[in-house]
């Protein structure tokens, strides 16, 4: 509805079609030269062997643009530059103002989407890779839900691997009570490492651990109970991290590796019946097409190991089959670090060959890069161990408190703490989400918490600033008064506001969350300029009313947009 780009595109498309006698994509996009530009005349002219400038002239003559554009200009070899009329922008904002969805339509073809994210490993510390997966996955879930899709969150916790043999044996050595204590205070690394040391140095222990895995996997009740205790304590710890992060992962979303155990035999049998399984070195393997090692030999996915055990790949095969055939999902998203790309692509290809993954269903790896320390290497503590997530988050909140106190010393302590929490966690999330997820980024709290630039504090401050205007303005009108756009700063802000819907739709397809972050930064910057150049509360009544609508739309777009990124927006800062 407020979809200006699409609207201009349709009008130009009609002009192009009239001139070319066939449909032409006008390729309208935002522009530095004017508000929007279309370069489609160039390609078309080449194809038709005509002069591009002349062709562009004819297109704009045939396109109906008068009600939308104050200026239409052909420049260079045949670019069409469009300047949108203030009046047209004002009418679009009039329609946006009463719309709780800010112009973002629900998808006309809602899908069932499974989002696999977070997926830490039980009895192990969550590391910063899991932080990224959790933050990105949460934002993906929020965007797709807002677009009207049915989203199933799946936390594919690693709790079924061979380490559980050694972990259970270690638990028996130190006693259940002590184990419960260590795990509940979040000393997962200490617990894991103690088990590991024994495993590596004591052949006796190693043998016990090996036998324990077999017992566990064959359903031995005592092993199962101890295993549940280990997993249960880890889950409590994960839940604490999720609560601090304010992400929407609940107990109901846990579907750990073990939950697919009873399907593994059937999966192997099915793959075998399809002729996809070959025995190599005693192990049952599938060789999905298109994957080979450096020597050019086909790469195997090991479904069942030589000792009869099932591993990570088997579980992922059962998982993808379940999501497609039992859950009926048509879009499968795996928010997992880039190093697992090949593994996942092999799972998808096997699922295709098995006939589980068939169009329109598709599987996508929503890959992400790593979090680096200031030395440009993977983030570590000074002692060289991996950084505890809770420590990072706690520090972000402490540092945010100083930022908030500096900005607004008059907040009462309880509100200050709540605001600091929103700013600190928001800063960590925003820094992550505003980076192209395929890239690595440096975890730098100073930069994340800066009040200038593309940071959460800058955006949250812009939002809080607008709330302060409302507090001074008094009662809000029940029906928004008409908007007028006269000043260039008003125009610039309006152009940003009408672009939100198109942007969110695009993010729903590409899952490029950094585009949403970048958009919100552009919006906040346009607002700040507007606010410097255009007085709101002291303006004459009609202009004041119109500018308050601009303020309200900006605040709401920031709130909804940051909300889609999982960032909450306090009213004061």
> Which of residues 163 and 561 has its CB atom nearest to ligand ARG in the complex?
163
Using rule CB under 6 A, residue 351 touches ligand ARG: no
d(CA 560, CA 558): 6
- Shortest reach from residue 428's CB to ligand ARG, in Å: 20
- Shortest reach from residue 563's CB to ligand ARG, in Å: 26
d(CA 33, CA 19): 24
Rule CB under 6 A: which of 249-288 touch ligand ARG?
A: none
Three-state secondary structure of 75-92: ECCCEEEEEECHHHHHHH
- Residue 154 makes CB contacts below 8 A (sequence gap 6+) with 114, 115, 116, 117, 253, 255, 323
The stretches of 246-277 forming alpha helices (DSSP H) are 264-273
> Which of residues 245 and 464 has its CB atom nearest to ligand ARG in the complex?
245
The footprint of ligand ARG on this chain (CB under 6 A) covers a number of residues equal to 9
- Shortest reach from residue 317's CB to ligand ARG, in Å: 10
The 10 Å Cβ neighbour count of residue 371 is: 21
d(CA 399, CA 448): 10
Rule CB under 6 A: which of 156-195 touch ligand ARG?
A: 156, 158
d(CA 66, CA 53): 20
**DSSP string spanning 455-496?**
SHHHHHHHHHHHHHHHHHH-SPPSSPPPP---SHHHHHHHHH
> Which of residues 115 and 422 has its CB atom nearest to ligand ARG in the complex?
115
> Which of residues 154 and 399 has its CB atom nearest to ligand ARG in the complex?
154
Using rule CB under 6 A, residue 153 touches ligand ARG: no
For the chain, the C-alpha Rg in angstroms (whole number) is 28
- Shortest reach from residue 120's CB to ligand ARG, in Å: 6
- Shortest reach from residue 116's CB to ligand ARG, in Å: 5
> Which of residues 26 and 311 has its CB atom nearest to ligand ARG in the complex?
311
> Which of residues 127 and 149 has its CB atom nearest to ligand ARG in the complex?
127
> Which of residues 314 and 336 has its CB atom nearest to ligand ARG in the complex?
336
> Which of residues 301 and 562 has its CB atom nearest to ligand ARG in the complex?
301
Which residues make beta-bridge pairs with 71? 83
d(CA 164, CA 171): 10
> Which of residues 119 and 516 has its CB atom nearest to ligand ARG in the complex?
119
Binding mask 284-323 for ligand ARG (x = CB under 6 A): --------------------------------x--x----
Using rule CB under 6 A, residue 336 touches ligand ARG: yes
- Shortest reach from residue 114's CB to ligand ARG, in Å: 10
- Shortest reach from residue 343's CB to ligand ARG, in Å: 7
Rule CB under 6 A: which of 108-127 touch ligand ARG?
A: 116, 119, 121
Rule CB under 6 A: which of 52-111 touch ligand ARG?
A: none
d(CA 84, CA 70): 6
The stretches of 106-263 forming alpha helices (DSSP H) are 128-146, 163-174, 176-184, 188-201, 203-217, 221-245
d(CA 286, CA 349): 10
Residue 25 contacts residue 38 (beta carbons within 8 Å): no
Which stretches of the chain bind ligand ARG, using CB under 6 A?
Answer: 116, 119, 121, 156, 158, 316, 319, 334, 336
């Amino acid at each position: 509805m407020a979809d200006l780009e699409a609207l201009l595109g349709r009008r130009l498309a009609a002009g192009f079609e009239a001139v070319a006698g066939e449909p032409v994509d006008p390729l309208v996009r935002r522009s530095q030269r004017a508000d929007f530009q279309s370069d489609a005349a160039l390609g078309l002219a080449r194809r038709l062997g005509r002069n591009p400038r002349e062709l562009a002239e004819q297109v704009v003559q045939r396109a109906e643009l008068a009600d939308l554009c104050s200026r239409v200009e052909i420049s260079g070899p045949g670019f069409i530059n469009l300047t949108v009329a203030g009046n047209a922008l004002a009418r679009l904002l009039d329609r946006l103002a009463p719309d709780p969805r800010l112009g973002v339509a629900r998808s006309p073809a809602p899908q069932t989407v499974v989002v696999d994210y977070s997926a830490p490993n039980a009895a192990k510390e969550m590391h910063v890779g899991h932080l990224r997966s959790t933050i990105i996955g949460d934002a993906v879930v929020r965007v797709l839900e807002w677009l009207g899709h049915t989203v199933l969150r799946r936390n594919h916790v690693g709790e079924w691997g061979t380490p559980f043999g050694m972990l259970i044996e270690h638990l028996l050595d130190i006693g259940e009570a002590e184990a419960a204590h260590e795990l509940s205070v979040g000393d997962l690394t200490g617990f894991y490492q103690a088990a590991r040391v024994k495993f590596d140095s004591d052949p006796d222990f190693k043998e016990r651990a090996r036998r324990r895995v077999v017992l566990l996997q064959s359903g031995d009740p005592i092993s199962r109970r101890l295993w549940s205790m280990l997993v249960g304590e880890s889950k409590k710890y994960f839940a604490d991290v999720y609560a601090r992060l304010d992400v929407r992962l609940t107990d109901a979303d846990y579907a750990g590796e073990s939950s697919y155990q009873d399907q593994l035999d059937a999966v192997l049998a099915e793959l075998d019946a399809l002729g996809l399984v070959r025995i190599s070195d005693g192990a049952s393997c599938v060789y999905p097409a298109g994957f080979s090692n450096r020597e050019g030999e086909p790469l195997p996915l090991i479904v069942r190991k030589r000792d009869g055990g099932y591993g990570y790949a088997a579980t992922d095969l059962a998982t993808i089959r379940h999501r497609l055939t039992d859950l009926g999902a048509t879009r499968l998203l795996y928010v997992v670090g880039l190093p697992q790309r090949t593994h996942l692509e092999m799972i998808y290809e096997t699922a295709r060959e098995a006939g589980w993954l068939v169009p329109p269903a598709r599987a996508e790896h929503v890959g992400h890069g790593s979090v680096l320390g200031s030395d440009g290497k993977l983030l570590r503590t000074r002692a060289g161990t991996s950084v505890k997530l809770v420590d990072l988050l706690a520090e972000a909140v402490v540092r945010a408190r100083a930022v908030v106190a500096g900005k607004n010393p008059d907040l009462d302590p309880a509100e200050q703490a709540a605001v600091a929490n929103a700013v600190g966690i928001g800063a960590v999330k925003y820094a992550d989400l505003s980076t192209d997820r395929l890239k690595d980024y440096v975890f730098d709290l100073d930069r994340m918490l800066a009040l200038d630039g593309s940071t959460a504090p800058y955006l949250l401050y812009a939002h809080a600033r607008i709330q302060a205007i409302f507090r001074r303005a008094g009662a809000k009108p029940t029906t928004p008064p008409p908007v007028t756009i006269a000043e260039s700063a008003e125009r610039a802000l309006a152009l940003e506001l009408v672009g939100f819907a198109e942007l969110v739709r695009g993010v729903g397809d590409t899952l490029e969350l950094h585009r949403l972050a970048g958009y919100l930064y552009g919006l906040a910057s346009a607002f700040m300029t507007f606010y410097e150049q255009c007085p709101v509360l002291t303006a004459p009544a009609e202009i004041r009313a119109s500018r308050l609508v601009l303020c309200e739309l900006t605040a709401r777009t920031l709130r909804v947009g940051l909300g889609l990124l999982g960032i909450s927006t306090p009213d004061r800062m």
